Amino acid sequence: MAKLYFSYAAMNAGKSTILLQASYNYRERGMATLLFTAALDDRAGTGVIASRIGLHDNARLFDASHDLFAQIEAAHTAGPLSCVFVDEAQFLTPEQVWQLARVADRLGIPVMCYGLRTDFQGKLFPGSAELLAIADTLREIRTICECGAKATMVVRLNADGTPILEGEQVDIGGNDKYISLCRRHWEERVGRNPG
């Protein structure tokens, strides 16, 4: 039976690298995959999933207006798909997460989602919250804090390196804007308890 998977981590854990490697493994065995990435993240170029170590592949874009079930069903009808991969899954809407669940349940295609669990304020992204609630399999991908402990939180930084404590949940960026920290160092860096 096909499943909906959610692999989550803080930034710089290698989520995109793992996604690209898994898709490559399917394709190397002659199986077709379909890749999606968030339309609002064009750091690697429009419609490209790229890792910091240089791997990249083309992907379809999604935004809140897209019906992913319909797109995947049409692609599967045109030629059988063995797996669907979604990068930046935190930007999915809750309804799109259910659409992906229906892909696994009704079309029998495994769906592997990769994304952040929480934002810079320690709050769940809507897509991540829904995935944590309904995914069949959850997997934490680990990265490390500057102290060597497991990093689970992200701090957004100003240009001068000071933490940003408020603002829009989404602000696309990489190492220039964000650092991954353990909970203790995140709380020390932001200087307050977010609750």
Return the active site residues: 88
Does residue 34 contact residue 100 with C-beta atoms inside 8 Å?
no
Does residue 86 contact residue 127 with C-beta atoms inside 8 Å?
no
Residue 46, judged by CB atoms within 10 A of its CB (0-12, 13-18, 19+), counts as exposed
For 157-187, give one letter per residue: b (16+ CB within 10 A) or e: beeeeeeeeeeeeeeeeeeebbbbbbeebbe
